Chain A
Amino acid sequence: ETGVTQSPTHLIKTRGQQVTLRCSSQSGHNTVSWYQQALGQGPQFIFQYYREEENGRGNFPPRFSGLQFPNYSSELNVNALELDDSALYLCASSLRVNYGYTFGSGTRLTVV
């Protein structure tokens, strides 16, 4: 079985630009969560999708948005990038909402 795959692995963007990060869930997993891990910090919950619907959101502004597709892959979109958005973005998938999570290796976003 495949794990969670994220792309790209690294990305550099300019302040004010928009970015899309992608995640392929582990086979059969219908729940996906996104986390932001700033340097030296633990991961912070951004939002979660279950069967293409957002069903939980952390303390992040609306310029952080997402999608989950019928094949359960997912996107994280961030508009109007700020320098503080520089972080490792982690995607995690789960078989069901209350099961354990499998994390991807993350996308390292640098905003300059």
Chain B
Amino acid sequence: AQSVAQPEDQVNVAEGNPLTVKCTYSVSGNPYLFWYVQYPNRGLQFLLKYITGDNLVKGSYGFEAEFNKSQTSFHLKKPSALVSDSALYFCAVRVSGYSTLTFGKGTMLLVSP
């Protein structure tokens, strides 16, 4: 069975500072990893994905994530946070050859002015 852990319920950061939202996963097989963002009363918006290749993945709105196979992690990062980045962030995984996405419980990111 595949699983995702997002160890922090909430991350607080000041605008202009770098941010990191943590994600670890467990799968049997090669992982496909995703980050989605959810604003209040909205669906999920795709940020970025790792399928294969370069371990550093760049996505939308200046976000990036680093795949670390030995640590089974896929942390989301951004060099300089914006107040508008405040939202709920979900990490998700699926195994290559299967399409079911397994999500973490989410991390609320709060960026203060």
B96 at interface by CB-CB < 8 Å = yes
Contact with A along B43-73 (1 / 0, CB 8 A): 1111001000000000000000000000000
Whether B90 sits at the interface, judged by CB under 8 Å, is yes
A44 — nearest CB in chain B belongs to which residue? B103
Contact across chains for B99 and A103 when beta carbons are under 8 A apart: no
> B residues within 8 A CB of A33?
99-101
Whether the pair B44, A98 counts as a contact (CB closer than 8 A) is no
**Could you tell me which residues of chain A, from 54 to 111, have a CB within 8 Å of some CB in chain B?**
56, 58, 90, 92, 94, 97-98, 100-106, 108
**On chain A, which size bracket covers the interface?**
20 to 34
CA distance A108 to B36 in the complex (A): 19
In the assembled complex, A24 has its CB within 8 A of some CB on chain B: no
Residues 77-88 of chain B, each 1 if its beta carbon lies under 8 Å from chain A, else 0: 000000000000
| B31: Cβ under 8 A from any A Cβ | no
B44 partner, pick from A6, A41, A103, beta carbons under 8 A = A103
For A42, the chain B residues whose CB sits under 8 A away are: 4, 90, 92, 103-106
B44, A108: Cβ atoms closer than 8 Å: no
Identify 7 residue pairs between A and B in the complex whose beta-carbon atoms are under 8 Å apart, listed by A's number: A33-B99, A35-B103, A40-B105, A42-B4, A48-B99, A97-B99, A98-B96
Q: CB within 8 Å of A: which residues of B?
A: 4, 32, 34, 36, 41-46, 49, 90, 92, 96-106
Additional 6 contacts, C-beta under 8 A, given A35-B103, A103-B45: A33-B99, A45-B102, A56-B98, A98-B99, A102-B46, A105-B43
